């Protein structure tokens, strides 16, 4: 996948040169490039914002540098243009899976008090990280790209690495344990030491169901329980 990030602060995305996504870029499974919107302004003082018509606090990003940047990047990236703003769909795992199937994507990071409305006609999609305020779209862009990138085939070691994770199947993840077998008097559940794969699968499924039911009843209501799920929940 090829991802371009249009931003006023490209240095913030050096984080993608490290860890799993950094390795994916070295393997050429994923390409992430940040583009400075400021390079496209026609202002001799490199301004990318101005006072809002009608008055109000703060500054608004101008349409010109954003639109010209999009037009230029579109010459080498034909992907969807995604603006990170408060009016968009709230990001979740389903959107991550949906976008991970794309070959190319372009993200626009807003800043200041908003962006000139006339730039919106160049956006294909708007995404919000949640109902809270951030200092800029960059802070939302990082977790969104990380979430999408790790779903791309070849980025993680095995597909199972993310299929059992929280939210992928609609459930929160089951408890995990590692060595030593005993820690501060607490032992790893015996079923995980049994080597009986089906019993381990059932235990994990049951724990996921219980944890989701207790901590995220909103998610649990959306789960279509199987006959086995009902039976597992009835067991003591």
195: Cβ–Cβ under 8 A, 6 or more apart, which residues? Answer: none
In a domain, 185, yes or no: yes
Residue ranges making up the domain that contains 207 = 164-234
* Average pLDDT value for residue range 11-36: 97
Are residue 39 and residue 109 in the same domain, yes or no? yes
In a domain, 158, yes or no: no
Q: Is the pLDDT of residue 188 over 90?
A: yes
Supply the CATH number for residue 200's domain.
1.10.1270.20
Question: How far is the C-alpha of 157 from the C-alpha of 154, rounded, in Å?
Answer: 7
Q: pTM (2 decimals)?
A: 0.86
134 assigned to a ligand binding site: yes
* Average pLDDT value for residue range 17-30: 96
* Average pLDDT value for residue range 198-202: 96
The predicted-structure confidence for 137-173, as pLDDT tens digits, reads as follows 999 999 999 999 999 999 997 654 555 555 667 899 9
167 assigned to a ligand binding site: no
As a three-state string, the secondary structure of the chain is: CEEEEEECCHHHHHHHHCHHHHHHHHCCCCEEEEEEHHHHCCCCCCCCEECCCCCCCCCEECHHHHHHHHHHHCCCCCCEEEEEEEEEEECCHHHHHHHHCCCEEEEEECCCCCECHHHHHHCCEEEECCCCCCCCHHHHHHHHHHHHHCCCCCCCCCCHHHHCCCCCCCCCCCCCCCCCCEECCEECCHHHHCCCHHHHHHHHHHHHHHHHHHHCHHHHCCCCCCHHHHHHHHCC
170 assigned to a ligand binding site: no
Q: pLDDT at position 160, please?
A: 46
Are residue 21 and residue 138 in the same domain, yes or no? yes
Instruction: Indicate the residue among 149, 177, 210 that finishes a domain.
Output: 149
Query: Which stretch of 78-92, 156-170, 178-192 has the lowest confidence by average pLDDT?
Result: 156-170
110 assigned to a ligand binding site: yes
Are residue 26 and residue 143 in the same domain, yes or no? yes
233 assigned to a ligand binding site: no
Q: pLDDT at position 162, please?
A: 58
Query: Which stretch of 4-8, 25-29, 111-115, 140-144 has the lowest confidence by average pLDDT?
Result: 111-115
Q: Which residues of 40-49 are buried (b: 16+ CB within 10 A; e: fewer)?
A: bbeeeeeebb
| Tokens standing for residue 50 | 């101005």
Are residue 116 and residue 186 in the same domain, yes or no? no
In a domain, 155, yes or no: no
Q: What pairs with residue 33 in β-bridges?
A: 4
In a domain, 159, yes or no: no
Instruction: Indicate the residue among 149, 177, 212 that finishes a domain.
Output: 149
Instruction: Indicate the residue among 149, 177, 209 that finishes a domain.
Output: 149
The predicted-structure confidence for 205-217, as pLDDT tens digits, reads as follows 999 999 999 999 9
Q: Is the pLDDT of residue 85 over 80?
A: yes
User: What mean pLDDT is reported for the chain?
Assistant: 93
Question: How far is the C-alpha of 81 from the C-alpha of 104, rounded, in Å?
Answer: 10
Q: In this structure, are residues 212 and 219 in contact, taking their beta carbons and an 8 Å threshold?
A: yes
Neighbours of 171 (CB within 10 A): 24
Question: How far is the C-alpha of 100 from the C-alpha of 29, rounded, in Å?
Answer: 12
98: Cβ–Cβ under 8 A, 6 or more apart, which residues? Answer: none
Greatest Cα pair distance, the chain, in angstroms, is 72
Query: Which stretch of 30-44, 114-128, 164-178 has the lowest confidence by average pLDDT?
Result: 164-178
The predicted-structure confidence for 93-124, as pLDDT tens digits, reads as follows 999 999 999 999 999 999 888 899 999 999 99
36 Ramachandran zone, left/alpha/beta (phi>0; psi -120 to 50): beta
Quote the distance between the C-alpha of residue 4 and its chain's center: 15
């Amino acid at each position: 996948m090829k991802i371009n990030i249009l931003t006023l602060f490209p240095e913030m995305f050096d984080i993608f040169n490290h860890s799993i996504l950094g390795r994916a870029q070295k393997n050429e499974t994923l390409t992430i490039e940040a583009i400075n919107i400021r390079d496209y302004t026609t202002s001799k003082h490199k301004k990318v914002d101005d006072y809002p018509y009608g008055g109000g606090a703060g500054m608004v990003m101008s349409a010109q540098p954003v639109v010209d940047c999009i037009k230029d990047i579109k010459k080498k990236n034909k992907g969807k243009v995604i603006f990170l703003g408060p009016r968009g769909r709230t990001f979740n795992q389903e959107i991550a899976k949906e976008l991970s199937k794309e070959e190319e994507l372009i993200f626009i990071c807003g800043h200041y008090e908003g962006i000139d409305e006339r730039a919106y006609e160049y956006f294909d999609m708007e995404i919000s990280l949640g109902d809270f305020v951030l200092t800029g779209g960059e802070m939302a862009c990082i977790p969104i790209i990380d979430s999408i990138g790790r779903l791309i085939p070849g980025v993680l070691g095995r597909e199972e690495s993310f299929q059992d994770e929280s939210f992928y199947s609609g459930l929160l993840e089951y408890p995990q344990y590692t060595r030593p077998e005993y820690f501060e008097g607490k032992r790893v559940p015996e079923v995980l030491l049994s080597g009986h794969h089906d019993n381990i699968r059932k235990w994990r499924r049951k724990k996921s169901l219980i944890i989701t039911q207790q901590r995220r009843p909103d998610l649990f209501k959306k789960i279509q329980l199987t006959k086995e799920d009902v039976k597992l929940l009835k067991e003591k």
